[in-house]
Amino acid sequence: MAAVIDDADVKQKVDDLYARYAQSLCDGDLDAWPEFFVDDCLYKLTSRANYERNLAIGPIFSETKGALIDRTRALKTALVYAQRYVCYIVGSIRIVGRAPDKGWDTRSMFSAYQTFVDGDSKLMMCGRTFDRIVLDGNTAKFSRRVVVYDNERVPSAVVYPL
């Protein structure tokens, strides 16, 4: 594994990105979600079972920020689903290397809980992320985000992206 980047400024920006991202998921702020990504981005949600067998298809595969906006619009206007809260906890954020062209590769661990109307708060997913972060002006954004969940089975549908 590549040496840890010890540039304090970069580390601070990366930590801040993850904190703001988690906060916006917990707030349920759908409009904010695509803004954490650069235009030319990759977002992928997949299971550990697929990831470790190099199987390409997982629940979400988006190749542009436009596709992320499409998803938030669909969630607001088209899909039928029960109201829920999502609580997204992220930790162990670490810069693991410099990306070949620009930016930094990172890893993090997460757990996400969901709460339904008249229901208990329960674990929805836990897993790891394998992301690439670039500076857009002075702001850190994702150019790639690959969310790999450990769950063999996911409870109900996964409505909000993580």
Partner 1 sequence: MDTIETGFGTKDISVGTWPRDDTSRIPLWVYSDRDNYQRELDRIFYGPHWHFIGIDTEVPNSGDYKRATVGERSVLMLRDENGSVNVVLNSCAHKGTEVCQSKFGNQNPIICPYHQWAYDLQGNLKSVPFRKGVKGLGGFPADFDLADHKLKPLKVANVNGGIWATFDHGAPSFEDYIGPVMLKYMKRVFNGKKLRVLGYERQRLRGNWKMYMENIKDPYHATLLHVFLISFGIYRIDQKGVYEQDERTHAHTVFASVRDTNPDPAAAQEMLSLKSNYELLDPRMVIPVKEFPDDISIMIQTLFPNLVVQQQTNSLQLRYVTPLGPDEFELTWTYLGYQDDDEEMKLRRLRQANLTGICGYISVDDSEVLEFSGAGTRPNRGGQAVVEFGGRDPSAPEGAHQFTESAIRGFYHFYRQVMGYSA
Note the residues at the interface with partner 1 (CB under 8 A): 45-47, 49-50, 53, 55-64, 66-67, 69-70, 74, 77-82, 151-159, 161
Gap between the Cα atoms of 27 and 31, Å rounded? 11
Task: Tell me how far, at minimum, the Cβ of 67 lies from partner 1, in Å.
Answer: 4
Longest CA–CA span in the chain (Å) reads 49
Question: Of 81 and 102, which CB lies nearer to partner 1 in the complex structure?
Answer: 81
Task: Tell me how far, at minimum, the Cβ of 49 lies from partner 1, in Å.
Answer: 6
Question: Of 14 and 46, which CB lies nearer to partner 1 in the complex structure?
Answer: 46
DSSP 102-115: SSEEEEEEEEEEEE
Task: Tell me how far, at minimum, the Cβ of 111 lies from partner 1, in Å.
Answer: 17
Could you tell me which of 72, 35, 54 has the C-alpha nearest to residue 148?
A: 54
Question: Of 88 and 104, which CB lies nearer to partner 1 in the complex structure?
Answer: 88
Question: Of 49 and 99, which CB lies nearer to partner 1 in the complex structure?
Answer: 49
Gap between the Cα atoms of 80 and 66, Å rounded? 22
Task: Tell me how far, at minimum, the Cβ of 143 lies from partner 1, in Å.
Answer: 16
Structure tokens at 70: 């499409």
Residue pair 76/83 in contact (Cβ under 8 Å)? The answer is no
